[in-house]
């Protein structure tokens, strides 16, 4: 029988054809505990700048605007260093212990900031230490989720990291807003509570991790095949003789064995060399770094920062406007990010999601550029409807950002790399992201001023057009592929990266698995690892 070839139909069939047991509590615990890694970045983004505007903070520290800006942004420098250094630990101590360590570093940094009591040097130290943890968490969180998630829903599960990031951002904003209203500026608690509450989500993540299963792909890298199989069985909730487990496990092992055979024993220096001197890996570097460049240059963060000014232009003013509108915008992005994870990245695919989001951004930037150009010339003649539309386009822009250049770079950074260099690849891309983000943050005020604001939005629209062309020709489609199958994409010539990977082969594999299921197939490879007496009852506990 011929199946429908629409994106939604393919997605539904992929989930329906998956064994029912693979979506279980063991998988949920791992995904949730590592998705919470995103709260650190989001909470800091939502609260750090707002904390410095509190009267109690100003009274205690009495800082000039430049110092305040450094305190807020220096966490990005620490994050860049932390992301790169995470490479040294992720493959040595495992995903769970790495995550626990990074969460602890972030907690320590937040507590140092909380109890710095007017000492600017101590506050700087706390911000940098928190940044080390944040950067490392942005590597290990998406990477681990991508490693454990079933391929049909890998995009959805990995983007839960971004959902937690935006949830943390919204909570951070409104925590500061609540403290500014309900706690007296004469009390240090007004600024200390927002610092302290940042430690809650990391603490929950650490506790959950003790009930989580370790990534079987990392265990295979550690040459513990029996433990890797036991971990996979727990994650999938299937018996050892199930063909789904056999296919997935053999694919993991085959990739590692082929890499070891062709490249020899691994070491940190060899991993770095392989990343930059093997052509297929260099293409991954190019894709992940360009994705982050285009994401930052698309202007989304500038739109967020400029939102209070836009509101002021249309007559919405007041001391709480900045905090309140930033919080509303964070909630809007959160809602659209949930929509992206549920309805776009796995259903439409990575490429269509990216192009849809970028086109929305181009339309919004174009309108805002025209609006600001005319408004700055003749503000008194600007119709109220045009101003209302400008606000609407800002919020519509959040949809484009959420389903495209906000979420997809994180997903690419987690799923594109082969097992041998996945940790370094993720660390490299996140290090670049954080350092570039720091530079853009510092450059944005001058950019807006030099281009008279409206010109900056023209520039952002131009970069979005470049991103659209780049996506069409050079961004591969990875939805529905296992992490091991993605390797085949980068073995092709550069001009074929944007073309689909032999879909007929995937259909043949699905038919093979269905046929094996009907035959009651028992894997001889797995039975060599697990005695026959255990094959029907062992669930890898």
CATH number of this structure's domain 21-212: 1.20.1250.20
For 496-519, the pLDDT digits (tens) are: 888 887 654 444 445 444 444 444
Least confident of 250-254, 287-291, 359-363, 536-540: 536-540
Q: How many residues does the chain have?
A: 541
What is the CB neighbour count within 10 angstroms for residue 296? 21
Nearest residue to 106 (alpha-carbon basis) of 209, 36, 179, 28: 36
Q: Taking the domains of the chain in order of start, what are their residue ranges? A: 21-212, 265-501
Q: Residue 5's pLDDT band (boundaries 50, 70, 90)?
A: low
pLDDT for res 502 = 63
pLDDT for res 461 = 94
Q: Residue 4's pLDDT band (boundaries 50, 70, 90)?
A: very low
Q: Does 466 or 527 have the greater pLDDT score? A: 466
Q: Which helix or strand (DSSP H or E) is residue 207 part of?
A: helix 200-209
Q: Is 453 left (phi over 0), alpha (psi -120 to 50) or beta?
A: left
Q: Which residues contact 482 (CB under 8 A, 6 or more apart)?
A: 151, 248, 251
CA distance 503 to 41: 37
For 284-300, the pLDDT digits (tens) are: 999 999 999 999 899 88
Spell out the alpha helix ranges (H) of 344-453.
350-377, 384-403, 408-415, 422-450
Q: Are 21-212 and 265-501 equal in CATH topology? A: yes
Q: Does 520 or 113 have the greater pLDDT score? A: 113
Q: Please state at what angle helix 408-415 crosses helix 350-377, rounded to 10 degrees.
A: 150
Spell out the alpha helix ranges (H) of 36-86.
38-51, 55-61, 65-85
Percent of the chain at pLDDT exceeding 70: 86
Nearest residue to 432 (alpha-carbon basis) of 46, 77, 25: 77
Kindly tell me if the per-residue pLDDT of 141 is higher than 70. Answer: yes
pLDDT for res 537 = 40
What is the CB neighbour count within 10 angstroms for residue 515? 11
Kindly tell me if the per-residue pLDDT of 67 is higher than 90. Answer: no
Kindly tell me if the per-residue pLDDT of 191 is higher than 60. Answer: yes
pLDDT for res 219 = 96
Instruction: Look at the alpha carbons of 70, 71, 76, 82 in this order and tell me if their dihedral is positive or negative.
Output: positive
Kindly tell me if the per-residue pLDDT of 93 is higher than 90. Answer: yes
The secondary structure of 132-189 as a DSSP string is HHHHHHHHHHHHHHHHHS-GGGHHHHHTHHHHHHHHHHHHHHHHHHHHHHHS-TTSTH
CATH topology assigned to domain 265-501: Growth Hormone; Chain: A; (1.20.1250)
Instruction: Look at the alpha carbons of 497, 217, 201, 109 in this order and tell me if their dihedral is positive or negative.
Output: negative
pTM for the full model?
0.87
Q: Does 214 or 539 have the greater pLDDT score? A: 214
Buried b (16+ CB within 10 A) or exposed e, 38-52: bbbbbbbbbbbbbbb
Least confident of 121-130, 204-213, 435-444, 462-471: 435-444
pLDDT for res 384 = 77
Mean model confidence pLDDT for the chain: 85
Q: Does 339 or 95 have the greater pLDDT score? A: 95
């Amino acid at each position: 029988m011929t199946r429908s070839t629409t994106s939604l139909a393919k997605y539904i069939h992929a989930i329906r054809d998956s064994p029912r047991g693979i979506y279980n509590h063991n998988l949920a615990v791992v995904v949730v505990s590592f998705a919470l890694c995103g709260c650190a970045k989001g909470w800091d983004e939502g609260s750090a700048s707002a904390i410095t505007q509190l009267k109690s903070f100003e009274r205690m520290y009495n800082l000039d605007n430049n110092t305040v800006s450094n305190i807020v942004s220096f966490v990005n420098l620490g994050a860049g260093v932390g992301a790169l250094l995470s490479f040294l630990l992720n493959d040595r101590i495992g995903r769970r212990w790495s995550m626990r360590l990074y969460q602890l570093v972030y907690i320590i940094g937040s507590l140092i900031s909380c109890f710095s009591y007017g000492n600017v040097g101590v506050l700087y130290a706390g911000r940098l230490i928190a940044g080390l943890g944040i950067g490392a968490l942005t590597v290990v969180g998406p990477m681990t989720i991508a490693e454990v998630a079933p391929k049909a829903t890998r995009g959805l599960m990995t983007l839960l990291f971004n959902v937690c990031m935006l949830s943390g951002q919204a909570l951070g904003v409104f925590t500061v807003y609540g403290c500014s209203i309900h706690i007296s500026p004469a009390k240090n608690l007004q600024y200390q509570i927002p610092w302290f509450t940042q430690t809650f989500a990391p603490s929950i993540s650490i506790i959950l991790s003790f009930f989580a299963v370790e990534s079987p792909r990392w265990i295979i890298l550690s040459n513990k095949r029996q433990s890797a199989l036991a971990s996979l069985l727990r994650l999938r909730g299937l018996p050892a003789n199930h063909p789904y487990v056999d296919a997935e496990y053999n694919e993991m092992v085959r990739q590692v064995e082929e890499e070891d055979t062709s490249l020899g024993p691994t070491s940190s220096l060899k991993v770095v060399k392989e990343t930059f001197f093997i052509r297929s890996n260099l293409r991954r570097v190019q894709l992940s770094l360009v994705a982050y460049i285009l994401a930052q240059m698309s202007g989304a963060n500038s739109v967020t920062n400029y939102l209070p000014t836009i509101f002021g232009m249309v007559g919405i003013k007041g001391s709480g406007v900045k905090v309140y509108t930033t919080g509303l915008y964070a909630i809007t992005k959160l809602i659209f990010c949930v929509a992206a994870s549920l309805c776009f990245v796995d259903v439409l695919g990575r490429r269509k999601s990216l192009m849809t989001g970028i086109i929305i951004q181009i339309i919004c930037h174009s309108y805002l550029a025209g609006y600001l150009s005319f408004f700055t010339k003749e503000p008194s003649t600007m119709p109220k409807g045009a101003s209302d539309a400008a606000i609407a386009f800002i919020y519509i822009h959040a949809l484009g950002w959420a389903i495209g250049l906000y979420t997809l770079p994180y997903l690419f950074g987690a799923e594109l790399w082969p097992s041998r260099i996945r940790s370094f690849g993720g660390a490299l891309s996140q290090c670049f992201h954080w350092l570039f983000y720091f530079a853009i943050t510092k450059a944005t005020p001058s950019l807006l001023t030099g281009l008279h604001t409206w010109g900056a939005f023209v520039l952002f629209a131009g970069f979005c057009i470049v991103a659209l062309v780049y996506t069409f020709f050079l961004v591969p489609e990875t939805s529905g592929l296992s992490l091991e199958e993605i390797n085949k994409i980068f073995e092709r010539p550069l001009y074929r990266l944007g073309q689909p990977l032999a879909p007929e082969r995937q259909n043949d594999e699905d038919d093979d698995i269905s046929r094996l299921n009907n035959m009651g197939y028992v894997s001889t490879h797995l039975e060599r690892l697990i005695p026959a007496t255990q094959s029907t009852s062992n669930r890898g506990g």
